[in-house]
Structure formats: C-alpha cells, structure tokens
Chain A
Amino acid sequence: MTTLLDNVFNGFALGAVYALVALGFVIIFKASGVMNFAHGSLLLLGGYLTAVLHDDLGFAGALAVSVLVTAAVAGAMDRFLLQAGGADPHTAHVQTIVTIGVDILVLTDLSRRIGGDLLSLGDPWGDAVSGLGPVTVADSRIAAIVVSTVVIAGVFALFRYTSWGLSLRAAAEDVEAASLMGVRLTRVRMLAWCLAGALAALAAVFLAAFPAPGLERTTGQIALKAFPAAILGGMASPPGALAGSLLIGMTEALVAGYQSELHVLGEGFGDVAPYAVMVLVLLVRPTGLFGGKAAVRV
C-alpha cells in the first residue's frame, strides 16, 4: 500500500513538471502551428543558466535571470528565425524543421560547456524529506507540485482574463479573422514563445532537483517526454496537455516502481513507457484524447 502511495505521489510530481513543459508546447502550437523541437535545449539553457549563476546571485536571483533570459531567447528565436519568412501559417512545417536546426546548435553548444559534469542548481530544498501520512516524500517534489499548480493556474488565468489570452485564442481559432479584428499576430506569437520558454526554464529546476542527481547534458531529453503528454491531450488543448502529463507521469512512476514485477519488458522500461502509451492512444484516437475531429472546408 505504501509502495502504491509512494508511486502515485511520484507520478503526480513528475506529471506536474511534465505539465509545465507540455503546456509550453501547446501554447507554441496554438499560437504558431509549430512543433517546437528546440524545447529540450531551451529547458537545458534555463537549467544551465541557473546552475552557473546561483553562486553569485543566489538561487532566487539566478532562477529569475534564467527564466527571463530563456524567455527572451525563445521569443527572439520565433521573431528573428521563424517569422523571418513571414508569419504565413502554411509554412508551419518548414518552421518546425528550423526548430530542429536551432536545437542542434544550442544543444551542441550547451553539451560542450557542460561536458560530463553534473551541475547543482543550488535549490533550497536539497535532499530534505518530509513525512506525509504513511509515505516519505522529497521536499523538492512537494515544491514541484505546489509551484507547478500555481504557475499553471496563472497561465490559465492569462488565457482567460487578459487581452493577450483573448488574442491568442482568437488567432488559434481563425488567423485571418483575428488579424482583420486588429490582433497583432507577430506580437501575440512572440509572447506565446516567451511564455513557453519561461515555463521550460522553470521546469528545468525541478527536473534537476533531488532525487535526480543534478543537471546533465541529457536533461533536455526529458522534455521529449512532454511530447507524448502534449500529443495525448491533443496538441491544441491546454487542459488536454495537463491530463496527458499526469497520465504520462503516472505511467512512468508506476512502471518504474513495479519494475521487478514487469521485468519481462526489460530493465528501464519506465523511461520508454510514455511512448508506448502514446502509440496505443494514437491507434484509437489519431488526434489525441481531447483533440476534436478536424473539419475541413474546401
């Protein structure tokens, strides 16, 4: 019973962190129709900045700077590289491949800097644990859940109550109509990228915190697991991304937790279980769990 609770809690915490990343994907996809393959390197950039700055600025200062810088980098990437060919939504798949090129560049540079090291982010939770009823949980995981919940609620409030959120939803619905109504697509898009970058930098902190050993050059690959999360929910639906993230987090934690019973599937199956779940869901629903059936007008 305790094992089950343990695993469920871990899954919830993982899901909360994945949700930060997956929400970023979905925001970008909604705003620009681009699948951002550079999200992993944005996340790594955020983590790396926090790691190198926390000695001088303290953890909070370093995190603030890294969130801002990552947001700026994401925004600049969209504005100067992706939108350079015009904001024409029909070129979205070309822009998707541009993000792969950017990913190669940023990832190569960061891997070269990080090398084989494990960087500490200097987070205040360290390896402390607390008892929560019958289970013992890491403080960093509690922090992950709390921070993610607050931030995600904030993002949804942005969608719902600000004029930017309204513009974003309008642009996602119908680009031309939104543009005719005076929505400045360029800026709405760029802000969406900034927001996604900020979320990725924040997620990096929790992905590198205890019980993970620290920030390594492969940390960015974790962002790839948010792909299944976003796809499961149906790319264009933020609530779907949350549900998908929780499902992915739970799957991963449960498969890893009950590994001894599942040894038929091989060691380390927990790492790839999210992908297996995604393929199974896509077989049944090709546009994800929450994705609507696309109607095409000719």
Chain B
Amino acid sequence: MSERLSRTRAVRVGWTSAAVVVLCALPFYLDAFWLRIGLFSMAAAVGAMGLGLLSGTAGQLSLGHAFFLAVGAYGYVWLAGEPGPGLPTGVAAVLAVLLAGTAGGLFSPVAGRVRGVYLGVATLALVFLGHHVLLTADSVTGGFNGRSVPPLELGGLSFSADPGLTVLGVPFGAEERLWYLGLALFAITWFTARGLLRGRSGRALVALRDSETAAAVMGVDVSRHRSAAFVVSSMYAGLAGVLLALSFRRVVPDYFGLVLSVDYLAMIVIGGLGSVAGAAAGAVFVTALPLLMTRYADQLPLVAAPGTTDGTVGPTEAARYLYGAAIVLILLFAPDGLHGLVRRLRTRLGRRRTAPPPANATSPTPSPAPDARAKEPTP
C-alpha cells in the first residue's frame, strides 16, 4: 500500500515538473496572440481561485468579484501613475492587493453576517456602486475613458516591450515577460489556496458551509471565518486585477461590470465548486473560448465574422451561448464540474489498469468494489 502511495506521489511530482517545464518553454514557441490568451487565463485563474475559496469552500455566493478586481486594477494604476502618488511600481502592485483586501475588510460587517443568497445580492450592490464611482471619480479613475497602465518594473527589468531584450535568440516583448510574471503569481496563488483549503481554516470553512450551527458548536468562530474568507478572496481578486491591468495596458470602467462577476462565477461552477484545479481550468475555458472563437470565426460553421450586424451569430455571442449552456449542462449532469469529471475518469482508468488479468475466462468478472474502497482513504 505504502509502495503504491509513494509511486503515485512520484508520478504526481513527475507530471507537475513536466507541466512547469512546458509552461516555461512556451514563450519561446508561441506568438503574442497565444501568449495573451495565456496571460488573461492566468489572471482569471488567480481571481477564480479566490472566488472558489469564498463560494466553493465557504459556500458564500458572491457577485461582487468584479468590484474587487477593479479595486486591484485601479489601485495599481493610481498608486503607480500620474495623477497619483507615483510610487515605484512593485510597491504599488503590493499595495493594490492590500487595498483590495481592505475593501473586502470594510465590507465584512455585511459579509460576516449576511448569508447565502442575501450576500449574493448585497455584493451585487458593490458592483453597481463601484461602477458608478469609477465613472464619476474622474481625477482618480479617468472617468469613462479609463486610464493607461504604467508598466511594472522589478529590479531594473521592465515588463514592457521598451528596452529590447533577446533570450536565446527569441525577442522578448511585453507578453513574453508578463507570461513569466503571470506564471509566478499563478503558482503562488495555487499553492497558498491549496494550503488554505487543506489546513485548519479550510476545514473550518467547509464545516461552516455544511452546517453553520454544527460548526459553531465545534468552536468555529462563524462571523470571523466568514469575513476572513471574504478578505482573502478579495485579495486574490485584487492580484488578478493588477495582472489584468498589466496585460490590458488600459483600464476602463465598463469592463468591470456585472458580466465580469458572472463570468467568474461561471468559471468556478464549470471547474467544480470547492476545487482549486477546477477553478483554474474553468478560468481557462471561460477566458480562452471567446478569444479563440473570434480568431477562428471564419473557419467555424454557423458563426459569422466579427463586426457583422445582420442578426447572425457572432463569435462573442457564440462563445456566450456555449458557456451559458456549459453552466446549465454541467450543473445538471455533473454537479461537481470538470474537476469531478476528471476524478471519475481517473478512478475508472486506474481501476482498469490495476484490475488483475482474468486468470480463466469462466471466472466471474472481478468485482471492482474492494479495490475502490481501498482507494477511498487516499487524500
């Protein structure tokens, strides 16, 4: 048994390092379009993992994620730019994340007490009020037209195309450099989110989701944990906002609307509630789908080229149909999302592989039950 455990661990480590090598090598082979898709997906994944902690693990429905993304993005732009304090960009990025956390903390008198659907609607208010502020506070946010984003500089390396840089014969523009930044931030959030989920606080949140009363009886401080989940999730959103701002190079208020919040909700639902890997997969799906469909619109059946307005289905609409349908179908047929699908598939494959070869054809089919039960306690 322990031999098998250590073997699965070795296999897992092998897969992870292979994935890391591939991800690090990609900028040398892909052009800017694909790298940009990757960047947006990584930024979205960071935000989605935060929302996953809140909605999937703690069971709190939040539609306010767009607001915290906006706080992160605009916070960075204002802190690093002109007008604004003009801080060093690295410091501004860290402060922007903390600012988003603070915004979440300020909302915690509501977030700590209001439950479930009530919280969903209360956070809806944040999106609308936030959008209003973004439009009217011209001096900070630049109003309707938004502001351009100062590129990040860390230790003399600028994350923009400006001082040309060539690595191993490949010219490194803004996308290539931001890719590694995104990858690093993605890895950090991935491991912190998993650590949180598997640790004491993650178990407390799951207990809260399953039964508030029972959790309270077991000694979980209900409103403190709920507020904490909200603050952590806002900080993840703030980080995602900073990364998005850096990739877009311009922030506009209309991007941070209710649609964005719903997109994030769609990501964690499609990926599977309560799973970090699922949130990341859902983020890639929801982010990449419309971009890919726009790019390959002319090769897809039933989809018109972008810009046609004669009532045919454009690529953006086609993408929205697809993921609207994905939400409904996944919840109907696989309520645990992509994560659950993969896990079931893996169990089935594993069972087939470990099943003993039939000694003689007349023996009844080996029952899979004991094997499945033996697998169950594996975390």
Give residues in A with beta carbon < 8 Å to B: 29, 35, 81, 84-85, 91, 93-94, 96-98, 100-105, 108-109, 111-113, 115, 221, 224, 227-228, 231, 235, 265-269, 271-272, 275-276, 278-279, 282-283, 286-288, 296, 298
Contact = CB atoms under 8 A, between A and B. Distances in A.
Interface string B101-125: 0000000011001111110111011
Contact of A282 (B114, B258, B332): B114
B64 to A, nearest CB: 11
A63 B154 CA distance: 62
Interface residues of B, number: 48
Contacts of A235: 117-118
Contacts of B217: 298
B346 interface: no
Nearest to B212: A296
A103 B262 CA distance: 10
B117 A108 contact: no
Given A269-B132, A275-B125, A286 B327 contact: no
A104 B213 contact: no
User: 3 closest A-B pairs (Cβ-Cβ)?
Assistant: A101-B327, A266-B136, A104-B324
B332 A100 contact: no
17 contacts: A35-B117, A35-B121, A81-B328, A85-B335, A96-B61, A100-B266, A101-B325, A101-B326, A108-B321, A112-B314, A112-B317, A115-B309, A231-B121, A271-B128, A271-B132, A286-B110, A288-B118
B299 to A, nearest CB: 21
B222 to A, nearest CB: 12
Contacts of A108: 317, 320-321, 324
B331 interface: yes
Interface of B: 59, 61, 109-110, 113-118, 120-122, 124-125, 128-129, 131-133, 135-137, 212-214, 217, 258, 262, 265-266, 269, 309, 311, 313-314, 317, 320-321, 323-328, 331-332, 335
Contact of B311 (A100, A113, A224, A227): A113
Contact of B331 (A98, A221, A272, A298): A98
Contacts of A282: 110, 114, 118, 122
B132 A227 contact: no
Contacts of A98: 327-328, 331-332
Nearest to A35: B117
Given A286-B115, A296-B213, A279 B323 contact: no
A93 B335 contact: no
**Which of A100, A268, A276 gathers most chain B CB within 10 Å?**
A100
Contacts of A267: 136
A277 to B, nearest CB: 9
B117 A97 contact: no
A265 B137 CA distance: 10
Contact of A104 (B120, B136, B313, B320): B320
A3 B344 CA distance: 65
A56 to B, nearest CB: 20
